[in-house]
Structure 1
């Protein structure tokens, strides 16, 4: 995450251009010396160039500094200058917690723009390389295979960046292992990483260590927040205050926000208050104490209710909160929470993106300090209750988000009408926008709820509601990467709580996604595990589904003998339950694998059984497809006359089903059969009939029975 909302560390505005006191400071100004040094490092020859070799990968610049030093703002300012663009135009970048991209203007050194991702979560946990790669691919609007591993995703990132000239900002790296897999192989790209210390292991990295701002810049920063007059009356105290803040932009922003909120206070007053704060932070490094003291100054001056909300924001998933999150955490009204969050923005405690559904980001440098305050001031039971309220509110919002997509007369819409107005969405479009904007926080909430382990019932409800909402608004294909992670979370809870039914469902869902992306052997392993879990739960649906899916996996691998065996087991179970639709489908699957294996007698018997099943169900189109497959088997078996007669039967069924395109496809099959029998005239008649049926709509589709699909 970004260290601080701004790095207001540069020169004062030109005369006549000053903004009013309390105006939001720019994201960055100053650090001219550091910017100049970084640009010089870009131009400087690398080790490979000096050795006479072409640089194999992008150059890496490192901006090292403690949280709150403005390292992220400096990285973004450098990237914006190189790309000829303004990072303040970045969508949703106001919170600093979300990945974002800014296209270049074409006039900079890197015309394809900026990509920025964070490598550390607000709680201090490192972000897995797989997730970072997914975020980069998402910024590039490239499809991400669900369940793909680190190597595959890293390779996709490098391949995507090979055709672009971008600046890749990797913010708040923990170590070189997070950075190295993402480095573009194209020397025309540039990587700017921020970290607390060196990145040992990244070759030829160019470090730039950030210290505190010089006194003049600190004073100008304070003047920007409170006005020049309050600085002019006591300039020496202002310089002493800057020194007490260690020259850290984040600490200065908090102090400036406090002064702006207390117009009758002087700079000497705030300096005295900082000195009078008790020394309770001896455990912290000396360089981290100024920011901790500045936060305590602001926190202790807040009303009790507001201070509690601020502390509980340490629980906000991904460091992102909205009015509903704050309201649920504190147990207050939504309007009170929204007003308090806006006050926090003015104090420099939060950032906001200004979107239609505003989100508020906790700066990464403040998140661990807020958590420490929360653990010190709030009882564990109160913290757990706040977390439970937040999860319950999120579940209800997700249920509302999905229900608004249902038909007006559905049960879901009737239940939606019973919810409080504040939880409802006016229409599906608004719900979709909310889901898109809140998706990073929602996914983080699910991960945190499962990792916590103490609220597993709420965690399961949250994951289920999020899966349904994503499927309703984005579709299962588009949301597959997110759904894969959510099903994995369900599996974690099911294993931890020994819930075989839920374990079977999660394994089946994960295996389906594995199979869809070509990882058939992985899918087969999961299907077998789902079968075991289904048997342990005595869940006939799960066991039948697993056996059928095992058969499908073997068919995909070309092992038709095992496929037929597993389809047979699944069919035997369906026959005992009287599930006719499933029986007909499984007869078709058996017919297909026997056909592939060349066992035409078995194949023909199963296709006929499938056709009989569809006939009993009254599905004429499915019956026609099954009969057409029987005709295909007869032709393969060297019985063309019988195949011709069976195919005519299928045509008649398609006609009765009023399926014109299927009828046309069957006419073409008849024509091919007649050609092989040496009757081109009759074949021509059937092709003409197919053309008339299509009526200029295009070619007939390939006959593919649903029961033949694997």
Structure 2
């Protein structure tokens, strides 16, 4: 990897990547360790999409697909942090990145085209093909040779994940296509021996591809080896019969006949496609802007031997485009009949075509006179099958309403292929291949935008183009409409189009161009539903989060879970809803906008408010229950109706798993509650997330949710609620080391606690304020706060508060060098926490004891307490505490002379701290560097 590297600012080689083999990276000509397999998978996505912002959701889908871990966003952060350490070893936490950049919606790997072997391959391939078309055969051969030489085994070798798998397939196809192009050049230059040598590996490795067989037969014939050319046809036929039960298509059959009769023109011609003018053909014209879909096209092409391929997907996802494109590629295999029939399953102003009427159209298309077509549908089906018997026919049955509509149209001949498109999953159809089509990958969506727009604006405004395709939800129909508007409005910039699509209230109106409209496409699916399913769909438009679970959807709709499951599954079947994981559902972004609009148009204000209230009651009751498991000694409870539906949790692990799953919904739910005037829900939902955010170390989200809930508490005039949220803000700011902000929040909360007369709350604020003063080095003020808190807690009989103060005093005594007093205070606190089963606080005190014994030089006791602390913190899901204790154990091991063990602890602590974006990461990094 010594060629095509990026030059740094100082003139030295920079970052270079190899993708056309085992994935590798070099930085300044030195190999970069890319880390564990899933981290390599994430790097691969960024490298393939270099200089494009790849969204976090796209990275999750690309690395894990449907097999998601509990916290995929955290996994992305962890792997990005690992890559930054490898790619930018000297970068500090707050300094800007050079190679791997963060954006509000994701990440971008900056890499010049010449630093990527994939980009160089694509450039050489395109230049070689242009040279070939221009008649410059020698230059074409050299360029194509250079392109193929860049491969070093299988592309993206050893990289897991669905993105790598699909790209590996696509790149393998590209490699073969370029090799075939090169053979054509060799034939044209009269280098038949070289052409034979190049074609044989292709026919051996891809025996069902007809082009390399035709090239091999042509080269052998022109080299004077007629019998070997015919033997090559026999081998191709044997492979096709064994795999597909079919003879080779017209390309090879026609070439064989020309070889048999020694056609003189064959010595000068390249293999030709057969004349299909006599075939019954009415396939639509393929689009000029077909982009991507390599994996899907390969699956449709592979279905040629199975007889039936059903393609389903939501409105506008490109089902017909894929079917027509694949039909064009398959056309040479089906010379007799190639027909397209629109079944109008979801057509505006038209009923679906009955099977009998569809059979009449098909029979007329293959030349059966109208007076010979029977009246009965069964008789028509029998005649249709007889007409296709022994014929190679390709049918595209477009926009089927259900399996019953298409079943009578299927030919009985194994030599035919039927491609069916439908918005409904045709589970009742015995299809050889079923393909559910998803939206486009980000890069392909941008490429489609550029192709349809037709000028350089998209390339010149890459970031704005990315925001446009995201506003379109990566839906091909929406991207095409947006691009068409851009194409016909030369005065518009891409940024102007982005701004027009920014507001959800007008986005669907903007995605309309003459007779094409995203909203109309959606409405045809929506209006095919009955009343209960329509209502479930539009109520889902009220849900503000990214994914909704079955229990929450049931609460939203006001039905039991069994009924909700039936309704949701039916919406999945008609492609109005996705189910990425069992029991978890999501609306496509544009469908969510459409559902919300239909909800506002159809449901009255009272109905919408009632549905939102049911949803918020469910979440508040469930989050409150989870908080009860995580913090059983808390002093406040949420106010929810006793009969509100809720999830229940057996233990901390179950509560944290649910909270992790729902994490992305909390801030949107609080904001939605505040907008709807449901201020009690807003502030209490924020408050009840304390234990979750503290356990997981989600400090930024803690601040966001509390800032969203705080205005609601103030609007209610609830000073105690306001105080509690201010305390939460102070805790989060403290952990982020923004101590001045924390002190400000605590002092405001303290005044409110005293004003309301809530003594236990006052003690809690004093405790936290004292901790912050300790971190600021203001020990006198710290001691004063802790002593006041201890006095108030004992007077109020608040043993939980007393235990926390004792633990804090133990930390303070350690700072002051009073190590015996530190141990005594913390052991008292430990006894209290163990009595109450407060595992999280127990882990914190054990960590404090380990540090006290470390300061005393009692390393065995420090190690024992640290091990217990680590077990507690892992057991209760306290990731921030786990990193803290690993950091402590690293210091214990270093003091004992065990440098490798210390480094191991610090590396594990650093991985967690970086994943949480915790300020402690910088401290741990310095300790590691000092070993």
If the length of structure 1 is used for normalisation, what is the TM-score?
A: 0.49
If the length of structure 2 is used for normalisation, what is the TM-score?
A: 0.38
Which structure would you say has the larger Rg? Answer: 2
Q: Relative contact order: is structure 1 or structure 2 higher (C-alpha 8 Å, sep ≥ 6)?
A: 1
